[in-house]
Amino acid sequence: MRQLFFVDRSIVLFVYGLTFFVMGVAVFMHSRRHSRLRLARDLYWLAAFGILHGIYEWGDIFIPIQAEKLSTQYVQILYTLHVILLAFSFMCLLMFGIVTLETRLPPARVAGLLLVIVWSVGFILILYTVSPLRTSLGYSKTLARYLLCLPGSLLAAYGLRYQAKTHITPLNIPYIQQTLRIAGMALIAYGIFAGIMVYPADFFPANLINRALLEDTFGLPIEVWRSLAGLVLAVAIIRTLEVFEIEIDQIIEKMEVEQIQATERSRIGQEIHDGAIQGVYSASLILESIAPLIPTDSEVARRLQQASNVLNAVNTDLRSYMISLRAESKPDPLIPSLQRIAADPRYHGLLDIRLDYDTEPNLKPMQITHLLAIIQESLANTLRHARAHRVYIRVKRSADLLQVQIADDGRGFVPQTSVVGYGLRFMRDRARLLGGDLVVDSAPGRGTNIILTLREEKSS
């Protein structure tokens, strides 16, 4: 087996290059620039790494073949470009790790730029101070693996884990999360085999930990180990691309739900007009017909006028509801809307509403509508049941996640044993429509704390 791999090294190199090249092409062809997932845009750097690195490995096969037909000067140029191509491929891998962690580790971009500058300066110095050319190019490859490949692999592995946690977890696709973890482990393995196991050299650590040590220990060329790591990475990343199809299915499902909701709103509005409004209007006419039969200064006349006023107010409210159901208007931004709620006289005399927020979140009008409905229902429940004096509304942003907390100092209840009322069901239904998570934390004498977590969707 050992002889097979070492004698047929060209086949090993071809398979090694093919593994990364196929991964790069697959990622490039299937990624979605229009996807809302940040990973869709970041993966293009990984695609560039795969394609460039595959071409580099094939260079080890084809440059020696062309060397028989070209002059020594042209062959030296080809080998120099070969090293630059290796460095560029590792730069793409490093850039992939940086962009996936851009919100998590902002200094990573500066650190990556410094590593590229250090390698570039080192490459020029080695090229002009070390001879022969073969030795200087070997040192340059080793420097590229230490400075670009190893940090790039580790950053990319961490970046995939971070993307899975922040962007894939909310989609509730466990197998995609697991696949990204496998891809991260494959990148770590590749970082070890390609970024540490270099050609032996007369400086540390290449003089102690190198590819010769691994090949003597296990009897297999280093390219076999790198190919295995690359194969696992390619399969995992290609499997991860399914997330974009799932995302499209969810978007279509969401559009269908919104269409069903619009139809249902129109139906309810029509029923309000044909049923409730007509009934209230008929009752008002009956009361008006009774009024002339009763003395104007009597208590009955006064009560009758009050009933007529109430019916007129109900009629106005029903017409307002009907209009809002049929033609849903675009709401104001979230923070100004919350400020108006906090200053609303209906709440102001009964509750001390305190609002805490950072900046205006990026939400679509539909999200703002559902979110305001949840907050208003929570305040209504507080007024009806909690006997609270203060309510705290906090809006916090973390990456592209939004957390809205509504806490009161009321008497509280036991969510697990209490009968779930219409208001709480209403809030949970709205939370599901938002694709968010609603948590109700309460206990007798401890108040109620409602936390809604959802993903921001920037309005277009």
pLDDT of residue 460: 46
Q: Which carries the bigger pLDDT value, residue 282 or residue 26? A: 26
Q: Which residues are within 8 A (CB) of 11 and not within 5 positions of it... i.e. 6 or more apart?
A: none
Pairing of strands 390-398, 352-357: parallel
pLDDT of residue 321: 72
CA distance 392 to 406: 6
Confidence check: pLDDT of 249 > 70: no
CA distance 265 to 91: 54
pLDDT of residue 52: 96
147 within 8 A of 209, measured Cβ to Cβ: no
Tracing tokens 């084809």 back to the chain, one arrives at 62
Q: Could you list the beta-strand ranges (E) of 344-435.
A: 352-357, 390-398, 401-408
Confidence check: pLDDT of 325 > 70: no
Tens digit of each residue's pLDDT (9 = 90 or more) over 6-37: 556 788 888 889 999 999 998 888 765 456 67
Nearest alpha-carbon partner for 350 in 375, 386, 374, 314: 386
pLDDT of residue 247: 63
pLDDT of residue 450: 94
Percent over 90 (pLDDT), the chain? 37
pLDDT of residue 9: 74
Map residue 396 onto helix, strand or coil.
Answer: strand
- As separate numbers, helices (DSSP H) first and strands (DSSP E) second, the chain gives 17, 5
Confidence check: pLDDT of 422 > 70: no
Sheet harboring 448-455: ordered strands across?
352-357, 390-398, 401-408, 448-455, 437-442
Which ranges constitute the DSSP H helices of 101-241?
Answer: 108-129, 133-144, 150-163, 174-195, 211-218, 222-240
**pLDDT grade, residue 157 (50/70/90)?**
very high
CA distance 94 to 153: 7
Query: What is the DSSP secondary-structure string of 239-285?
Result: HHTHHHHHHHHHHHHHHHHHHHHHHHHHHHHHHIIIIIIHHHHHHHH
Neighbours of 170 (CB within 10 A): 16
Confidence check: pLDDT of 136 > 80: yes
Q: What is the mean pLDDT of the chain?
A: 84
Tracing tokens 């791999």 back to the chain, one arrives at 5
Q: What is the DSSP letter of 382?
A: I
Cis peptide before 106 (omega within 30 of 0): no
Task: Show contacts of 342-347: CB within 8 Å, 24+ apart.
Answer: 342/393, 347/379, 347/383
Most confident of 61-70, 84-93, 298-307: 84-93
Average pLDDT over residues 208-223: 88
